[in-house]
A = this chain, B = another copy of it.
Amino acid sequence: MKNLIPVLLVLSCYAMNAAIQTKVVEYKQGETTLEGFVVYDDASKGTRPGVLIVHQWMGLTDYEKKRAEMLAQLGFVDFCSDIFCKCIRPHTREEAATQAVKYRNDRQLLRARVNAGLEALRQQPLVDPTRIAAIGYCFGGTTVLELARSGAKLNGVVSFHGGLDSPTPGDGKNIKCKVLILHGADDPTMSPQQIAAFVDEMRSGGVDWQMVKFGGAVHGFTQWYAGNDNSKGVAYNERADQRSWEYMKLFFAEIFK
């Protein structure tokens, strides 16, 4: 019996991993072909809440796929959306910046792209279309806020070290979902004035919003690969990473109850 336990453990781990299913999904926004990535656990068969994950400025990478796997293990169907195009996967910071600036300056296109991803998520057979959230990191955080500002019908959005500024702050009044902002208190990419403007937008729009500031955390605090040198303005912070993940889970527990 004693010798059987390690074998059972190995088999059980294998079964757990084997339950996570992935699938590449092509979808369209206008004439543009986008390529997303669906992750779910087929150990259970019923419908469940869906989570849209929006990538950082480097486009859809293994980072978002790993987050999707972590969420699938929590019982969600996850859709890693593609904002840029199936044919655009930046390889350098310069290429990424070109894309980020493009969408930063064309929020309507950004909203159209992320709404196309939301629709693709909704169409996944295991998704309960009445229980949907969107999360995003960095550029993806900016994007899920634009999704909310577009008036999209979903339960909540979570921004991890995302941009908070808006060229059309009056659009805050369109927001129908709950908003959770997870922000590094030392993030140099958002000025105090930009944060204050965001708070004003939420307040004027009557939005149900919360913001958590993590002491000692700079931009990109959830990026495992970002090193730990805060002086660069972008660095991993394990404490803030883990706490922000727990806060997201708490938020999901509330909006999906």
Q: Does any Cβ of B come within 8 Å of A88's Cβ?
A: no
Complex Cα spacing A106 to B144, Å? 47
A185 touches B203 (CB 8 A): yes
Interface stretch (choices A67-75, A157-165, A212-220): A212-220
Q: Are B210 and A243 in contact (CB under 8 A)?
A: yes
Decide if A196 is an interface residue (CB 8 Å cutoff). Answer: yes
Q: A215 to B186, Cβ gap below 8 A?
A: no
Interface check A95, CB cutoff 8 A: no
Chain copies in the assembled complex: 2
In chain B, what residue has the closest Cβ to A216? B208
Q: A185's contact among B211, B215, B239, by CB below 8 Å, is which? A: B211
- Asked, given contacts A247-B250, A250-B246, whether A210 binds B203 with beta carbons under 8 Å apart, the answer is no
Task: Convert A117-156 into 0s and 1s, putting 1 for each residue whose CB lies closer than 8 angstroms to a CB of B.
Answer: 0000000000000000000000000000000000000000
Cβ < 8 Å to B, chain A residues 232-257 = 239, 243, 246-247, 250, 254
Q: Is the CB of B196 within 8 A of A215?
A: no
Q: Is A167's CB within 8 Å of the partner chain B?
A: no
B residues within 8 A CB of A250?
243, 246-247, 250
Distance of A210 Cα from B215 Cα, bound (Å): 6
Smallest beta-carbon distance A184→chain B, Å: 11
23 sample A-B contacts, Cβ–Cβ < 8 Å, listed by A number: A179-B215, A185-B199, A185-B203, A185-B211, A186-B203, A192-B196, A199-B213, A202-B215, A203-B216, A207-B215, A208-B215, A208-B239, A210-B215, A210-B243, A211-B212, A211-B213, A212-B212, A212-B213, A213-B213, A243-B254, A246-B250, A247-B250, A250-B250
Counting from the closest, the 3 A-B pairs by CB-CB distance are A209-B215, A211-B213, A212-B212
